[in-house]
Structure 1
Amino acid sequence: MNSKKVILSLVLATMALISCNKDDDNNGPAPVPDRDREEVKAESDSTITAYLETHYYNYEEFDNPSEDFDYKIRFGELKGENADKKSLLEDVTVQEINFADVNYKLYTLVVREGEGKQATYADSVYMNYNGRLFNDERFDGSVTPLWFNLPGVITSNGITGTVPGFANGVNSFKGASSVSLNTDGTLKFSNDYGIGAVFIPAGLAYFSGSQGSIPAYSSLIFTMEIFDVIENTDNDRDGVPNIVEDINKNKILRDDDTDSNGTPNYLDIDDDGDGIPTREEIIINADGSIEYLDTDGDGIPDYLDADS
Structure 2
Amino acid sequence: MNKFKYYFILLLAGISLVSCNKSDDDNVVTVPLRDYAVQYKADNDSIEKYLKTNYITVTNSPGTPQDQDVVIKKIVAGDGNVSIWDQTTYKLTSRNVYSNDITYKVYYLVLREGLGSAPTNTDKIVASYTGNLLNNTVFDSSYGIGTTFNLFPYSNEGSVIEGWSEIFPKFKTGSSTTDPGSGVISYKDFGAGVMFLPSGLAYYADSKGTIPSYSPIVFSFKLFDLQRMDNEYTISASTGGRVFLGDGVPDYLEDLNGDGYLYDFRDKTKYPNPPADLVDDTDGDGVADFVDFDDDGDGFTTRFELTKPTSETGIVNGFNYGTRLYYPWEPLADNPNTPNTDETEPRGIPRRPTGALADPAKPESATNVRKYIETDYTDNPRLRIHLDKTYPIKQN
The verdict on a shared fold, with TM-score over 0.5 as the criterion, is: yes
Q: TM (normalized to structure 1)? A: 0.70
Q: Secondary structure at the match of 2:94?
A: strand
* Contact 2:120–2:260 (Cα < 8 Å) also in 1: no
Deviation, 1:244, is 5.6
Counterpart mapping for 1:1-308 below 5 A: 26-59=25-58, 62=60, 70-80=67-77, 82=79, 84-90=80-86, 91-143=91-143, 144-152=145-153, 154-155=155-156, 160-176=158-174, 178-183=175-180, 186-190=184-188, 192-230=189-227, 232-236=228-232, 237-243=246-252, 251=261, 253-256=263-266, 266=290, 277-281=301-305, 284-285=327-328, 287=331, 291=384, 292-295=386-389
Q: Secondary structure at the match of 1:58?
A: strand
CA–CA distance in structure 1, aligned partners of residues 125 and 93 of structure 2: 21
Q: 1:68 to 1:172 in 2, by over 3 A?
A: closer
Kindly, what percent of the aligned residue pairs are identical?
A: 31
CA–CA distance in structure 2, aligned partners of residues 218 and 277 of structure 1: 44
What amino acid is the match of 1:85? N
Deviation, 1:201, is 0.6
What amino acid is the match of 1:199? F
* Offset from partner CA, 1:114-155 (integer Å, 9 cap, x none): 122223323222111111111222221213211112124533
Q: Secondary structure at the match of 1:160?
A: coil
CA–CA distance in structure 2, aligned partners of residues 214 and 274 of structure 1: 49
CA–CA distance in structure 2, aligned partners of residues 37 and 222 of structure 1: 21
Q: 1:126 to 1:200 in 2, by over 3 A?
A: same
Residue segments in structure 2 that go unaligned for 5+ positions in a row = 1-22, 233-245, 268-280, 282-286, 308-326, 333-347, 350-383
* Contact 2:255–2:261 (Cα < 8 Å) also in 1: yes
Highest RCO, 1 vs 2 (Cα 8 Å, sep ≥ 6): 1
CA–CA distance in structure 1, aligned partners of residues 29 and 288 of structure 2: 31
Q: 1:75 to 1:202 in 2, by over 3 A?
A: same
Q: 1:93 to 1:254 in 2, by over 3 A?
A: same
CA–CA distance in structure 1, aligned partners of residues 253 and 302 of structure 2: 13
Deviation, 1:69, is 5.9
Deviation, 1:160, is 1.9
Q: Residue 352 of structure 2 corresponds to which residue in structure 1?
A: none
Aligned residues: 263
Q: TM (normalized to structure 2)? A: 0.56
* Offset from partner CA, 1:31-51 (integer Å, 9 cap, x none): 322111111011110110000
Deviation, 1:206, is 1.8
Q: Secondary structure at the match of 2:155?
A: strand
Root-mean-square deviation over aligned CA pairs: 3.7
Give the structure with the larger strand fraction. 1
